Structure 1
Amino acid sequence: MLLAHRVPMCRQRIDHDEWERHGGAALGDRAEWSDRACGMAALRMILLAYGQEPPSLTELVQLGVEKGALTERGWLHAGIASLAEVYGVPGRAEPVPAEELIDRLKTAPLIISVTEKFPEDGRKGGHLVVAHGFDPGAGTDPLILFRDPSGWGQENDRVPLSRLSASYSGRAITFPTVTRTIAVLGEMLELGETAAEEHQAVGRMVGEGGIDKLIVVGNSPNVVQLTAGALAGGVPEVARVADNHTAAAYLETIVRPGDKVLLKASRGGELWQIAQELFGQPITGH
């Protein structure tokens, strides 16, 4: 089953207007700095993934230079980790063997040092990308999902672990467990003629409330309306299951450490059974 953290894409090519607006010309040529901005673009993606409001890429480059995070050999991992902490996301520069990447990606995205375009000619490191998930597939060589801020990365977003390992330096910047909020909702009973409208409204509210994943339980017309409202409201992931037992089984396959799971429906939906099943308690109700 594919696992992916939500990480928005940021390009390392710096927009001309942004460069001028924030005084980037004081650093030199915009095109040259765009070629060197992978570390700050990767940092910006991480900050967005953790719900922060980062400054522009130009401002991050300026700050990185000011704080000594850039050397002739490239961006210092420890420097990027320190900058992340300035914006409320603790980071740590450390070695992470390729064989440990899958386990690390189960709980958080990573900034990893690879060679651009993942060549297999012995070159290692020199370019920073964000690894944000994996797809185990059916074989023995899982795919690593990544956000690459280079031009090539705009059309490529996954690579076999074996190919990544060939150009991976073994060094990464790690971050805390990503906390997701998963809502499990059932039908609201006894609403009368406004039931369809109210269920759609609740679905839209889920999207507005920043819920990461919604699981809707049941097959009634009202549940269908709730699902439609959630999709219209922009909930990133919506799944519909037939009953409480199926919901509990599905949750067991997707819940990760740090996740928050919210259960809510009319009492007649007996959604407490889902929690009981997850915690191995006796199932009560009918």
Structure 2
Amino acid sequence: MPGTVLESHRYPEHALLEDLALPDGTTMSRLKWNDNCCGMTCIQAILDAEGLLVPILDILLAEGIESGDCDVAKGWILLGFLELGRSYSLDGKVFTEASLGFLEDLPAIQVAPIISVSCNFPLTPKAKGGHLVVFRGTRVSSTEGEVCCCDDPSTQGATLDEVGRNVF
């Protein structure tokens, strides 16, 4: 049975504005990282939904890198990513795995989880994580059956905010 679906909150100002100076003195191109800031864009969307101050993406990225919570070569350390959210009055918990049934219950209590998915939600069973989206709940679609609703900060998310349950 489909659950509650939270309102979508795609934060519009999610492009990096400048290249980023790294702690080691090198510079990271904003163009290189614009498509690798999905987690921080999810934080922006949740802050916006909560009516809290939303920092620009450049600030979130710089804070994550300076704190050591983001490894430029490997990506975000999830507990560090959680700490970054906490520094902006969000709270949460890291689960290494969660069933869709567990996730479906969260929107009803006004919790919008950030979840790791495979980019483009491929049907390949071997594909694992690497891309973050905000899960908003499930609903029944007249054309696709049960769908999972999410805010996807990738370019795909501009046109796709529902994914069939079997693909999700």
Work out whether the TM-score is over 0.5.
yes
For the residues of structure 2 that align with 1:147 and 1:85, how far apart are their CA atoms? Answer: 20
Query: Any conservation in 2 of the 1:12–1:149 contact (CA below 8 Å)?
Result: no
Name the SS for the 2:94 alignment partner. strand
- The residue type equivalent to 1:65 in the other structure is I
Q: Which residues of 2 match residues 64-79 of structure 1 at below 5 A?
A: 64-71=64-71, 72-79=73-80
Q: Tell me the C-alpha RMSD between the 2 structures.
A: 2.4
- Give the structure 2 partner of residue 33 of structure 1: 33
Q: Which residues of 2 match residues 171-190 of structure 1 at below 5 A?
A: none
- Give the structure 1 partner of residue 24 of structure 2: none
Q: Which residues of 2 match residues 65-104 of structure 1 at below 5 A?
A: 65-71=65-71, 72-94=73-95, 95-104=97-106
- Displacement after TM superposition at 1:68 (Å): 1.7
Identity %: 28
Name which of 91, 103, 119 aligns with 2:122. Answer: 119
- Displacement after TM superposition at 1:2 (Å): 6.9
Query: Any conservation in 2 of the 1:134–1:142 contact (CA below 8 Å)?
Result: yes
- Displacement after TM superposition at 1:96 (Å): 1.6
Query: Any conservation in 2 of the 1:111–1:131 contact (CA below 8 Å)?
Result: yes
Query: Any conservation in 2 of the 1:14–1:31 contact (CA below 8 Å)?
Result: no
For the residues of structure 2 that align with 1:25 and 1:138, how far apart are their CA atoms? Answer: 45
For the residues of structure 2 that align with 1:97 and 1:83, how far apart are their CA atoms? Answer: 25
Instruction: Please identify runs of 4+ aligned residues in structure 1 that moved more than 4 A.
Output: 137-141
Consecutive unaligned residues of structure 2, counting only runs of 5 or more, are: 22-26
Consecutive unaligned residues of structure 1, counting only runs of 5 or more, are: 165-286
- The residue type equivalent to 1:120 in the other structure is L
For the residues of structure 2 that align with 1:158 and 1:69, how far apart are their CA atoms? Answer: 30
- Give the structure 2 partner of residue 211 of structure 1: none
TM-score (norm: length of structure 2): 0.83
Query: Any conservation in 2 of the 1:129–1:147 contact (CA below 8 Å)?
Result: yes
- Give the structure 2 partner of residue 55 of structure 1: 55
- Displacement after TM superposition at 1:149 (Å): 0.6
- Give the structure 2 partner of residue 14 of structure 1: 15
- Displacement after TM superposition at 1:79 (Å): 1.4
- The residue type equivalent to 1:91 in the other structure is G
Aligned pairs, how many? 158
- Give the structure 2 partner of residue 159 of structure 1: 163
- Displacement after TM superposition at 1:13 (Å): 5.8
For the residues of structure 2 that align with 1:145 and 1:6, how far apart are their CA atoms? Answer: 10
CA distance 1:28–1:69, change in 2 (3 Å):
same
Query: Any conservation in 1 of the 2:14–2:56 contact (CA below 8 Å)?
Result: no
For the residues of structure 1 that align with 2:116 and 2:20, how far apart are their CA atoms? Answer: 28
- The residue type equivalent to 1:64 in the other structure is G
Are positions 1:143 and 2:147 aligned together? Answer: yes
Are positions 1:130 and 2:134 aligned together? Answer: yes
CA distance 1:86–1:25, change in 2 (3 Å):
closer
For the residues of structure 2 that align with 1:96 and 1:133, how far apart are their CA atoms? Answer: 14
